[in-house]
Structure 1
Amino acid sequence: MNRLTSLLLTLLITSTITSGCAPQDSMSNYFAIDTNHGRMVVIIYDETPGHRDNFSKLADEEFYNGTTFHRVIQGFMIQGGDPNSKDDDPYNDGMGDPGYTLEAEIKPELINRRGALVSARQGDQVNPERRSSGSQFYVVQGGQPLTEAMLDQSEQQISQALGSSFAYTDAQRNTYTTVGGAPWLDMQYTVFGELVEGFEVLDAIALAPTPGTTGQGDPRLRDMPLEKIEMTVTRLTDYTPSN
């Protein structure tokens, strides 16, 4: 066997071994969230590796399949991912998890813009480290585009809470004044991804009738859709964004 043939064979073997053992960070970060209202597609950020790996693991294990969006608030957000929502007791929805929480990965560059994918969590009183739920998340719907004055106020509130100066970048301000979001939640919750497709589905779920919007049903379930909105979450291995 001459040197060229030997080299080509070595490269072929190496390539085969490498492609058969792809590391986690080479896998797709795109996931489909399918509901009876249609499909949303999200991308999970590499900037939040703990949340990326956790969401990926749960999705690949089909943990989310059959859970619901148990809390929807028009103009604000939709929340889901609670394993308790798989049972027939609506009163325990929002209180479940996989048995663990996640260390916060809160970053100033990741904001609660329209379409942001964010970890839910317990309040500061019982969770001062702002650790994330192991599975529950919300997607920001947002209402109308925000004004500069609203963002100024948000900056002041965040700076006061942090005990240090906080300011949005020009790009972040442009995002909020163009597409909207929930800036009052910035620097409080871990933003770990965003919606890239299916904003009309997000809006449809946020508009789902609830006891709070219709006066029907149990007022204790104020923000729970009257009709169950179940989800199936799957990794998209061959997804290409349309824009």
Structure 2
Amino acid sequence: MNRSILTTILFLLSCTVQAQTNYVSLSTSKGNILIMLYDETPNHRDNFLNLVKKGLFKDQEFNRVIKNFVSQGGELDETILDREKLNPQVPVQRLAAEIRPELFHKKGALGAGRNDNPDKSSYLDQIYLVEGKIQTDTELDTLEVKRGIKFTPAQRETYKTVGGLPRLDQDYTVFGEVVSGIEAAEAINNVATAKNDHPIKKEGFTIHILSKKEISKIAKP
């Protein structure tokens, strides 16, 4: 699919979500990625914004990149879980899931990573951008039966035209989406990686929270 067409489709899809309050920009070696955070997931939104304000996502890196799957940043599972094992007296910190069926894993979705816990609660500081792939009706039908979920006609059309990772739906919290700069996200997802999925060349990023003035300019020509 032509990238300019894809960018337009992603923007139009974002317009189907109720107007949002907060946007962030990821500055990467491949270009800037503009992300809209969902007001429908306030705890994940606020946690993320607070971490950005504290400087956690300054000069961070995509440390786990799987082609046609996700590009992940923040702390790795191993780092988090090893620290928790070494400090059993410290209460485990997780963010309660905010899974909403209308917020799904289309290409460009921003999700919160987690370990395999029954509550599907999220790590505080692990994020991922969905790359995924184009789906077929047969694949979506199979997932509906296997997972006991139901995709709306709009979600089906999105998965069949834009792509994504429907098998993650209703298992992980999605709390934002790319509204521009999808080309940069694609480029990051295509970098060369080692066997542990870590990019061979560091792929860093810094996150900037847009001001109200900057947000007001987004929809303007």
> TM-score, structure 1 length as denominator?
0.73
Which residue, 194, 197, 201 being the options, matches 1:227?
A: 201
> Mind listing any 5+ residue stretches in structure 2 that lack a counterpart?
1-19, 85-91
Q: Deviation per CA, 1:34-86: give whole Å up to 9, x if none.
A: 1112111101100001001111111122211122100111111100022x7xx
- The alignment of Structure 1 onto Structure 2 pairs a total of residues equal to 191
Is 1:32–2:32 an aligned residue pair? no
Number of the residue aligned with 1:146: 135
- CA drift of 1:92 comes to 4.5
Spell out structure 1 runs of 4+ moving beyond 6 A. 93-97
Q: CA deviation at 1:154?
A: 1.3
Give the SS at the match of 2:201.
coil
The answer for the alignment partner of 2:67 in structure 1 is: 74
Q: 1:65 and 2:42 equivalent?
A: no
Distance 1:168 1:49, change over 3 A: same
Match in the other structure for 1:101: 94
Which residue does the alignment assign to 2:173? 190
Matched residue type, 2:218: P
Q: Separation in 2 of the partners of 1:224 and 1:241?
A: 33
Superposed counterparts of 1:143-182, under 5 Å? 143=133, 145-159=134-148, 166-182=149-165
Does the 8 A contact of 1:28 with 1:235 survive in 2?
no
Q: Is the 8 A contact 1:41 1:195 kept in 2?
A: yes
Partner residue, 1:19:
none
C-alpha RMSD over aligned residues: 2.3
- Identity, in percent, stands at 39
Query: Displacement of 1:28 after TM fit?
Result: 4.6
Once residues 83 and 22 of structure 2 are traced to their aligned partners in structure 1, the CA distance between those partners, rounded to angstroms, is 25
Query: How far does residue 96 in structure 1 lie from its aligned partner after superposition?
Result: 7.3
Larger radius of gyration: 1
- Amino acid of the residue matched to residue 67 of structure 1? Q
Match in the other structure for 1:205: 188
CA gap 1:111/1:206 in 2 versus in 1, 3 angstroms? same
Indicate the SS of the match to 2:103.
Answer: coil
User: For structure 1, which runs of at least 5 residues remain unmatched after alignment?
Assistant: 1-26, 85-90, 160-165, 212-218
- Do the aligned residues in 2 keep the contact of 1:28 with 1:236 (CA within 8 Å)? no
Q: CA deviation at 1:93?
A: 8.6
Does structure 1 residue 241 correspond to structure 2 residue 213? Answer: no
- Quick one: which of 102, 124, 127 aligns to 1:137? 127
- Relative to 1, partners in 2 of residues 1:152 and 1:188: Cα closer, same or farther, differing over 3 Å? same
Secondary structure at the aligned position of 1:132 is classed as coil
Q: Are 1:110 and 2:103 an aligned pair?
A: yes
**Larger deviation, residues 233-242 vs 72-81:** 233-242
